[in-house]
Structure 1
């Protein structure tokens, strides 16, 4: 059994007994890396650099903590997030225990949230950025638009507590994710975690609308978002 889904792009087939992930990943061609990790090696290295900075600033790195361990934890996390695979399978793939795999995923995702907060990767656009977005979308016939908002269902295993609350209109269990993106399809706001049975507009009012009311997010020069018909018209929202 090959350790990666398509080892034919490497110089020879790779199995569990022959090489470790630490040996394989650096040798992957860009295309193969992108297939396995859903991102380019350049993006991965930049993300790893930012994680390392946050890791050190928060005094999370103790004496003797090897850099390779951080790289492996990030690799395990991105694999878990980018591939529909069980903890048991991922653990075997990377030579760690199932519980360690779960802990690594939780710990690294928490670090990624800190990275986003520090570097403002997903952040509400400034006035200058809103003007830029509006200019680009205005060329397509949408004046004053600074982003597009919509919800998406993320399928989950039925939770033990109130499982029926998570059954969506398509009859499977899910949590809702709402995203706002700009003309480059880059996220400027993301909110997730609500039960799949609620309506998209209810999700909007649970997070983004509350931030608009509180002034946490601002709209400049009569700008607004565009959405589908699931969302009700408002001063900052058109559908």
Structure 2
């Protein structure tokens, strides 16, 4: 579950935030006594219903607890010493970061809601981002040789399609128009974005993530620029295959182009291909649920 937030955070790290100039500390501390909302995390959040928590923080409360458990095991959140001010708890840092990732509020508004300085909000965000990226390999990793064999069996049990271990596809993360070369970030749907390419297993768990290229990039071009391309001959142990849609031209298995003259075997192949490749579309749908 935590890999979903990790994926979103990795993508978020590619975006520039003009408020970063205010960051001064690595360990966020409770700030001065300006007029701010007090007690939100202590007196309000604990009384949210399950639905309210998900609506406010864009994450299931059980997933949040799992993620918090991982964060509490990170020694970097426990400085050897601090000054006269009390460090902000991991609990609050994570809630601040979830609010930042899940909404469009400015740093100033987030600081008001959580009763802390703007620089502390930025430090909270950066701390959580850093730890999530450090944790990435624990959640988003390529299958081992034995796991490839297991994945192949899982796919084959679905509808008999042999030697398939994963599916690849791309999606877009909408962004504000960059100041430099904004037109390069306009995708085919007409809005500014960066590309997110993911590969997932049969259970929709992500095994590879590649992001940061402008929205105008074609899926096939993005694949060739990713680190997957350089290792493509050995990634699947020279035996297995990855499914992709018609946008991809090489390496991955794609459907036959339906020109109205496909024979029965080609039609059957396309049907089985689509039935298996749908897992990556479902994985994206889950990732994007608000």
TM-score range, shorter chain: 0.7 to 0.9
| TM-score normalised by L of structure 2 | 0.66
Instruction: Count residues in correspondence.
Output: 216
Distance apart, 1:180 and its partner CA = 0.9
2:63 is the counterpart of 1:43: yes
Are the aligned partners of 1:51 and 1:115 in contact in 2 as well (CA < 8 Å)? no
| TM-score normalised by L of structure 1 | 0.79
Are the aligned partners of 2:37 and 2:112 in contact in 1 as well (CA < 8 Å)? no
Unaligned runs of 5+ in 1: 1-15
How is 1:88-107 mapped onto 2 (pairs within 5 angstroms)? 88-107=108-127
2:192 is the counterpart of 1:173: yes
For residues 218 and 147 of structure 2, what CA distance do their matches in structure 1 show?
30
For residues 92 and 241 of structure 2, what CA distance do their matches in structure 1 show?
42
User: Residues 135 and 109 of structure 1: is their aligned pair in 2 closer, same or farther, counting only changes over 3 Å?
Assistant: same
2:212 is the counterpart of 1:193: yes
Are the aligned partners of 2:77 and 2:90 in contact in 1 as well (CA < 8 Å)? no
Distance apart, 1:157 and its partner CA = 0.8
Residue aligned with 1:139, SS:
helix
Match of 1:209 in 2: 228
User: Residues 132 and 83 of structure 1: is their aligned pair in 2 closer, same or farther, counting only changes over 3 Å?
Assistant: farther
For residues 60 and 205 of structure 1, what CA distance do their matches in structure 2 show?
41
- Once the two structures are superposed, residues 157-199 of structure 1 have per-residue CA deviations (whole angstroms, 9 ceiling, x without a partner) of 1111222221112222111101111122111111111111111
Match of 1:228 in 2: 245
How is 1:50-89 mapped onto 2 (pairs within 5 angstroms)? 50-54=70-74, 56=75, 58=76, 61-64=79-82, 69-89=89-109
Structure scoring higher RCO (CA < 8 A, sep ≥ 6) equals: 2
> How big is the alpha-carbon RMSD for the aligned residues of Structure 1 and Structure 2?
2.6
Where has structure 1 moved over 6 Å in runs of 4 or more? none
